[in-house]
Structure 1
Amino acid sequence: MTEAEPTGNGDDYGDDYGGDRVRAGVWATLGDARTTLALERAGFAWVGVDAQHGHFDDAAVRGLFALRRAPAAPVLVRVAANDPTLIGRALDAGADGVVVPLVQDAEQAEAAVAAAHYPPRGARSWGPLPGTRDPAAGAAAAPRPLCAVMVETAPAVAAVRAIAAVPDLDMVFVGPFDLALALGRDVDELLADTSADAPLPTIVRACREAGVLAGAYAGAPERAAALRAQGFSWIAVTTDAGVLQLGGEAARAALDRAP
């Protein structure tokens, strides 16, 4: 694969999965289905649903996709662990893809990819939950899921070239807060470090060599700009709570400007 040919999934969203265009996403943590669906229609390029550190438990994830009628952007679920049951269940509920946390090496990345795909590529079992897009169509007709794995520790950075090279992996996703914590560094200093052997340039370079997407969680527009400058393309610019705060600030400012 070449640098310009990421392995993105374009089955349902045109070129939204592949290519080098920066895609601003929003990270849903509050656990509310209707708020998350409103964010999907608000113009973001993708939505991340946090079932690891957010309020989305299994019932909330199922409820979200049961209400989803007209997909407008890819919705990815960050599962709580690299567990085939959790990965398969999120996809069975209707997620367009999964973000798998704390992947340390290529073997663990391969396990995540295998859990996301039906045979012969993987080991996922067929069993769609009510609310999926076409539960009667069968596994062969199911959309190809996007599989992202998170690099957020020193061993994962050391192994990132091998991780990114795992067949059918779509994205390496960085959690800069956990990565900074693991490396004993300040997160903003980590984001600003552009030296050739620094962690973030190393991750982006590995993604480009393997032809996979480089994604990251920013949580705030200022950190999103730093991640974009580092070369990441799928960036969670803010959270659902952050959107409410930013929107409230904009509304108050508009009122203050009114004659």
Structure 2
Amino acid sequence: MSDERHTVKIGAWANLGEPRAAVALEESGADWVCLDAQHGHFDDRSVRETLALRQSAKVPMLVRLLSDDGAGIGRALDSGADGVIVPMVESALQAANVVRASFHPPRGSRSFGPMTGVSYNTAGGYPKRGPLLAVMIETATGLENLEDIAATTGIDMLFVGPYDLALSLGTDVDTLLADAAPKSPLSRVIDACSAADLIPGAFGGTPIRARRLLDRGFSWVSNCVDTSLMQEGFKVMKDSSLGERV
């Protein structure tokens, strides 16, 4: 995992729940794509339809789940997801249950039942070693149990949700990102990832916040959401068109 941990990968976050738009993100040059089934419009059907549209796995496509429910984890992986991002993980036991739900016996408890018509992808090589498992650190309790969570065998990534983490800590996102003290929340996450040889990931949402997270040492960072990408993209195209007029 060491080489993967240090490799910067810029991701695109899909909220709209529109399969064709999400697959277009995979074709856009993003290093990974997340389908948001927690705060986005993706449900079971749109996740399955998106993954079924992929002609080949160009980059890892992950699903941010509604919860840590084991059935939901298995369902996303059965649909062909390259990995999952599990929200609100607050203990090593919870992290261990994520791992157990992600693997078939004898390693885990995931039920075996490949979906008809699903092509299981190999983006980034992850299916060779199992799905990529990211657990979200986004509460004060999760931060308190950070080192124990990071030590959980089978976890690949600690993924910071800075908005919820800031709320839980009684601060705001920009203050959280700016705090570079050795024992600050984000510094602790980076150190925990380094000690456990995990990938440090985070939701940036905008290029500016993504840059701050990259500067702090995070390597898998999302820098856009599909909705804002369309809005900003049109502005760029419009300005470019107007600028070319004589």
TM class by smaller structure: over 0.9
Determine the C-alpha separation between the residues in 1 that align with 2:207 and 2:162. Answer: 14
Deviates further, 207-216 or 237-246:
237-246
State how 1:103-114 maps to structure 2 within 5 Å.
Answer: 103-114=89-100
Report deviation, 1:257: 1.7
Aligned to 1:212: 198
Determine the C-alpha separation between the residues in 1 that align with 2:43 and 2:5. Answer: 32
Q: Percent identity over the alignment?
A: 46
Aligned to 2:241: 255
State how 1:8-19 maps to structure 2 within 5 Å.
Answer: 18-19=4-5
Contact 1:93/1:130 (<8 A) preserved: no
Determine helix, strand or coil for the equivalent of 2:6.
coil
Contact 1:49/1:76 (<8 A) preserved: yes
Aligned to 1:75: 61
State the Cα deviation string for residues 73-112 of structure 1 (Å, max 9, x = none).
Answer: 1000011000100000000001000000000011100111
Aligned to 1:200: 186
Deviates further, 180-189 or 60-69:
60-69
Report deviation, 1:51: 0.4
In terms of fraction of residues, the more helix-rich structure is 2
Q: Which runs of 4 or more aligned residues in structure 1 lie more than 6 Å from their structure 2 counterparts after TM superposition? A: none
Candidates 30, 35, 46, aligned match of 2:16 = 30
Aligned to 1:54: 40
The amino acid across from 2:31 in the alignment is A
Q: TM-score, normalised by structure 2?
A: 0.94
Q: Structure 1 residues 78, 43: CA separation in 2 closer, same or farther (over 3 Å shift)?
A: same
State how 1:1-259 maps to structure 2 within 5 Å.
Answer: 5-6=1-2, 18-134=4-120, 144-258=130-244, 259=246
Report deviation, 1:131: 3.7
Report deviation, 1:224: 0.3
CA RMSD of aligned residues (A): 1.5
Length, aligned pairs only? 240
The amino acid across from 1:67 in the alignment is L
Report deviation, 1:158: 1.3
